Amino acid sequence: MADVIVVGSGASGGMAAYNLTQKGVKVLMLDAGEEFDRRYFWTHTLPYEADGRRRRGDAPPRFFLDTKEQPYLTPEGRPFDLARVWGRGGKTNVWGRVSLRMSDLDFTAAERDGWGIPWPIRYADVAAYYDRAEQLMGVCGGTDDSDVLPGSRFLMPPPAPRCGEVFMQKACDRLRIPMVAGRRANFTRPHRGFPPCHYCGACGDGCDTGSFFNSADHLIPQALATGKLEILSNAVVARILVDEHGRAAAVQYFDRKTGAERQVKGRVVVLGASAMDSTRILLNSKSPRFPNGLGNGSDQLGRNFCEQIMVHVRGFLPQLFGRGYTNDDGIGGEHVYVPRFNHRPDRPKPDYLRGFGIQFWNTGAQTTGADVAHSLPGFGASFKAAVKKRYPALVSLHPFGEVLSRPENRVTVDESRKDRYGVPLMKIDVRFGDNERKMRKHMYDTCEEILHTLGAEIVPFDREANDVPGSAIHEHSTCRMGKDPKTSVLNAFNQMHEVENLFVVDGSAFTSASEKNPTLTIVALSWRATDYLAEEMRAGRL
């Protein structure tokens, strides 16, 4: 019997296994897939080479889970895009790598504006874990801390801005909109035996040199090296089974290859299967003692979904027209970031709650030129010339705004619809509200203002448009932490109020989403939770 069963091998599960095994705890990890072999990544495969290979029947590793294999339900007319990676390292194989600390602006939001429940922790509770996580993850960035974005002292040097980003900085300076160096878990220096980033810009296809943080290279091998970690691959977890005392006793899973049902026992269970799947597992873990799902006496499990709303505005900078190709690949994503600014005293008070930051991926000649061409009207030689002229001049603005957590935005399981293992499917029911729509207007206005300041050609856009819910791939709060067991599922250490030997360490534990990308916080919180867990075990309380 394992000391601890960890479900999931991504940022949260990987960290749980990493930290616990360093402390001598025996861990059994259940991974829903297998290792992705980086020898077969298509990191440097150019699009036309990829076309040729595909025609010959070759294919890159399939990172994202096919919904045909594991469907999820949505209500008619309310689509939700759920991206899942089942396999060693999970989504960290292909993640966006943006690594932003949350601050007390985020942790105290509910106290200040009254929306939702308060976080049970403050920045001071996590600060030391952010320090450790940033060092482990090799985050690069500037020394431009603020009340929004604190604590940069362990960052590697940031990459230099691209041409388009230099102009964006000038526009933001003029508008008194803050702009800082981007913070990303790309190594700009050699790190933990791995070479630094080689600036090919193709991180989304998986890194062939392991030069950005991912669980498969930077957590799990180190955990395996302790001799304390065993991994079961292709183990699709269905339920947590409880004993007569209501404690987690075993984990039921199905072998993804054979469909066979299996159970494994452990003293403690740590769930890090990503927000939606951890929630699904808990909701399906029904028993006489927990008829509405495990640890769901509060009826908060599955509720309060939140994330970020995203919109996209693109333009062409006349300053860069016709300048020809420059290599703008860099660390595969923007080198600059606009942190939240709507709360600043010199800004008009917004007519909505919370805030947004702006990211800028796809600025300059980072893509094939099709992105530019799709934005331009017409055809023929003049069209072709217009594309070439604007190719180096593309700038893209991507505001991410905090979506408020609402009880009616929720995950449930449908007993009448089963997956291939006979386990009820999850249903995700999410819609944005007035607060998001008002924030969206401010997001679009800000993007326009920045582009107008530069005299840019703005690609026409629909002001009512935003990405489908789920698109940020930052799902939160369906298993939220809080002080009060009546309004939350977990305590301040990601431990279930109602089941003391069960911890949930992925994004579902967040009390609110903030406007920031969550992985750095997930790693920090999983580290903190498993420190607590190991100490409780050592003291004989678990």
Radius of gyration of the chain (CA): 23
Distance of CA 21 to the CA centre of its chain: 24
Query: 204, 221, 246, 369: which one contacts other proteins (CB under 8 A)?
Result: 369
Q: Which is nearer to other proteins, 292 or 327 (CB)?
A: 327
Question: Does the footprint of other proteins cover residue 185 (CB under 8 A)?
Answer: no
Per-residue binding letters, 451-480, with other proteins (x by CB under 8 A): --xx--------------------------
Q: Which stretch binds other proteins (CB under 8 A): 43-51, 268-276, 398-406, 480-488?
A: 43-51
Say if CB 450 and CB 177 are below 8 A apart.
yes
Tell which positions 196-215 bind other proteins, by CB under 8 A.
Answer: 198-202
360 is an interface residue for other proteins by CB under 8 A: no
Piece of the chain touching other proteins by CB under 8 A; list 74-82, 323-331, 350-358, 410-418: 323-331
48 binds other proteins per the rule CB under 8 A: yes
The residue written with tokens 């001799």 in the block is 227
CA atoms within 13 A on the CB side of 123: 15
Q: Which of 176, 384, 420, 431 binds other proteins (CB under 8 A)?
A: 384
Tell me: does residue 365 bind other proteins (CB under 8 A): yes
Shortest distance (Å) from residue 183 CB to other proteins: 16
Rounded CA-CA distance 79/470 in Å is 9
> Which residue of 373, 419, 532, 536 would you call a contact of other proteins, by CB under 8 A?
373
Does 47 sit near other proteins (CB under 8 A)?
Answer: yes
Is 385 an interacting residue with respect to other proteins (CB under 8 A)?
A: yes
CB 134 within 8 A of CB 153: no
Cβ closest to other proteins, residue 328 vs residue 506: 328
Pick from 128, 153, 368, 437: which binds other proteins (CB under 8 A)? Answer: 368
What's the min distance (Å) between Cβ of 46 and other proteins? 6
Strand pairing partners for 181?
Answer: 336
Q: Give the residue with the Cβ less far from other proteins, 160 or 465.
A: 160
Site for other proteins in 415-454 (CB under 8 A): 453-454
Contact 456, 171 (CB under 8 A): no
Amino acid in the structure at residue 465: A
| Chain centre distance of CA 403 | 14
321 part of the interface to other proteins, by CB under 8 A: no
Distance CA 474, CA 478 (A): 12
| Residue 478 near residue 276 (C-beta atoms within 8 A) | yes
Give yes or no for a contact between 315 and 481, defined as CB atoms under 8 angstroms apart: no
Strands 261-271 and 2-7: parallel
Q: Does 370 bind other proteins (CB under 8 A)?
A: yes
At closest approach, how far in Å is the CB of 51 from other proteins?
6
65 lies in the site for other proteins, by CB under 8 A: no
Query: Min. distance of Cβ 209 from other proteins in angstroms?
Result: 9
Q: How many helices (H) and strands (E) would you count in the chain? A: 13, 16
Distance CA 509, CA 56 (A): 45
Choosing from 25, 133, 163, 283, the residue that interacts with other proteins (CB under 8 A) is 163
Shortest Cβ distance from residue 379 to other proteins (Å)?
Answer: 4
Q: Which of 3, 277, 328, 402 binds other proteins (CB under 8 A)?
A: 328
Binding mask 329-358 for other proteins (x = CB under 8 A): xxx---x-----------------------
For the CB of residue 118, give the shortest distance to other proteins in the complex, in Å.
42
Rounded distance between C-alpha atoms, residue 199 and residue 189, angstroms: 12
State the Cα–Cα distance between residues 70 and 238, nearest whole angstrom: 12
* Residues touching other proteins, count (CB under 8 A): 54
Cα dihedral 414, 420, 422, 427 in deg (nearest 10): -10
Nearest distance, CB of residue 374 and other proteins, angstroms = 6
| Span interacting with other proteins, options 166-174, 233-241, 254-262, 482-490, rule CB under 8 A | 166-174
CB–CB of 394/508 below 8 Å? no
When asked if residue 374 is in the footprint of other proteins (CB under 8 A), the reply is yes
Write out 356-387 in H/E/C secondary structure.
Answer: EEEECCCCCCCCCCHHHHCCCCCCCHHHHHHH
Backbone torsion region of residue 227, taken as left when φ is above 0, otherwise alpha when ψ lies between -120 and 50, otherwise beta: left
Distance from C-alpha of 221 to C-alpha of 109, rounded to nearest angstrom = 38
Contact positions vs other proteins (CB under 8 A): 44, 46-48, 51-52, 54-55, 159-163, 165-167, 170-171, 173-174, 198-202, 319, 324-325, 327-331, 335, 365-366, 368-370, 373-374, 377-381, 383-385, 387-388, 391, 453-454
